Structure 1
């Protein structure tokens, strides 16, 4: 049966050759990377975050993934390296004033320009559509083109002024070589954080196991809150008051009255050069030294009624 009626079959109809490799449309691939979330495959909307490998996500999709880590999700492998919300950075994106979105194509009779992007570089003005390499800083989350880094070399961010290092620069949707480099940096960073965390634990255990150290060196709650000058003055007064007491105690024990430690020797008023009227006011004057018969009664205090 077949081949009747004057039909002539051709070679490609009779011989089956190898299938042609289907090529991915580059424009469609760029649109999927730069306009859709890697985890949920939904359109990117603020707040937008990026992981340490340079992939773009919706923040709510990342939070849902961290709360529900079920094995049924097929797209969970794209975010398997995200262990907590600290592993992603919220991006500060600059809007493109020439982007209209879907407002101009409500009827479906207008051509959508896939080269037009929602965000641009705030320094150079390039559109973030995948045709140009873009990067962000882990320290602040600012996004700008790689050309801005090369043309304007600085150690601070071009938009917010935050200081950054070379390890803080992460390429967005980079090549396989870029992803491998970023993966190595991510592993080194996490290993360093684990070692620092382990080093802190023995120190905390030693401080708990040795309570005597804290008693010898009291903290701010046990120390005196007074001023250092007041404390020094009080200590000097105590030392000055204790010195004459100790001298008096030594003199009484030996039965001899010792001389004062400091100060000039006392002089009697009788030996002074003052007038006699002034000297008579004191009991050491000769007029005050009377016999019992000449002295007045104690009721009439110094009445001098003889």
Structure 2
């Protein structure tokens, strides 16, 4: 059997076999990972942040994702582990002086090198294009190549001087094994933070519920009366005064004076403070001599 042109079809043209697995272009994959936001698929622009798994995002896209309360979110699986803005770190990136951006090929007569990176390692000078492994520090956000951290071993950041630990180093766009280790670290870190919050709450509740705290601080009634010893002495004197009056009344036998009436106490004889006694006219400071006191006759012009 032949076609109109006399050609004979072959077997692979008539029988459909299994589909071939499409190979992903590695260069295109690297460009997508290092130049575009994982969440919004837009070109990365400052401020650029990275999550605890080492993926790159635009900060605006992360904020919009967190504010969006709808059930169906576009590309929500890529950022499902981000619960708040504290789960991402803003990166401090060093610009590549050899990168021209969109200005290099305005006329269209040049070849755009997609492997030319916008950022470089500030220590070694390697370009951050996916050919070399890069990582950032969670404590400060500075980005370095892994070669720089291995060759120049230090416990302090090379640019800002912030001390860091091995747990703070996070690989950017790592392999599946790197992502698994980072995920395990992230879960352990979050469990540890929850336990710390619980311990703080229990300490606060215990300090509030202690009965001795309320007894230590005196109430307002005791503070107004002054010292507690003085109040006790005053109460004893007032209780002892009516008994003395009753005995004196019975011995004298004078009628008209009630036996239960207490004698009047002068404030000058009381045990109050001098500042309190100075309020009254019976205090020595209120008394004036004859020379200090003015005469009742006024010397105005209308009196003569």
TM-score (normalizing by structure 1): 0.68
**Structure of greater Rg:** 1
2:14 is equivalent to residue 14 of structure 1 = yes
1:40-119 map, 5 Å: 40-119=40-119
The 8 Å contact of residues 140 and 162 in structure 2, kept in 1 or not, is answered as yes
Can you list the C-alpha shifts for 1:243-272, whole angstroms capped at 9, x where unaligned? xxxxxxxxxxxxxxxxxxxxxxxxxxxxxx
- Once residues 158 and 170 of structure 1 are traced to their aligned partners in structure 2, the CA distance between those partners, rounded to angstroms, is 16
Q: 1:125 to 1:213 in 2, by over 3 A?
A: same
- Once residues 165 and 217 of structure 2 are traced to their aligned partners in structure 1, the CA distance between those partners, rounded to angstroms, is 40
- Once residues 211 and 183 of structure 2 are traced to their aligned partners in structure 1, the CA distance between those partners, rounded to angstroms, is 44
**Per-residue deviation, 1:4:** 5.0
**Per-residue deviation, 1:203:** 1.2
Equivalent residue, structure 1, for 2:207:
207
Deviates further, 156-165 or 204-213: 204-213
- The residue matched to 1:74 in structure 2 has which SS? coil
The 8 Å contact of residues 2 and 9 in structure 2, kept in 1 or not, is answered as no
2:143 is equivalent to residue 132 of structure 1 = no
Equivalent residue, structure 1, for 2:147:
147
The 8 Å contact of residues 2 and 8 in structure 2, kept in 1 or not, is answered as no
- Once residues 173 and 39 of structure 2 are traced to their aligned partners in structure 1, the CA distance between those partners, rounded to angstroms, is 14
**Per-residue deviation, 1:3:** 3.6
- Once residues 139 and 34 of structure 1 are traced to their aligned partners in structure 2, the CA distance between those partners, rounded to angstroms, is 22
Equivalent residue, structure 1, for 2:161:
161
- Once residues 120 and 14 of structure 2 are traced to their aligned partners in structure 1, the CA distance between those partners, rounded to angstroms, is 54
Q: 1:43 to 1:214 in 2, by over 3 A?
A: farther
- The residue matched to 1:194 in structure 2 has which SS? helix
Structure 1: runs of 5+ lacking an equivalent: 219-306
**Per-residue deviation, 1:214:** 5.9
- Once residues 117 and 62 of structure 2 are traced to their aligned partners in structure 1, the CA distance between those partners, rounded to angstroms, is 23
Structure 2: runs of 5+ lacking an equivalent: 219-304
- The residue matched to 1:8 in structure 2 has which SS? coil
Equivalent residue, structure 1, for 2:121:
121
Q: 1:18 to 1:166 in 2, by over 3 A?
A: same
Equivalent residue, structure 2, for 1:192:
192
2:203 is equivalent to residue 171 of structure 1 = no
- Once residues 7 and 62 of structure 2 are traced to their aligned partners in structure 1, the CA distance between those partners, rounded to angstroms, is 61
**Per-residue deviation, 1:215:** 5.0
**Per-residue deviation, 1:2:** 5.6
Q: 1:18 to 1:189 in 2, by over 3 A?
A: same
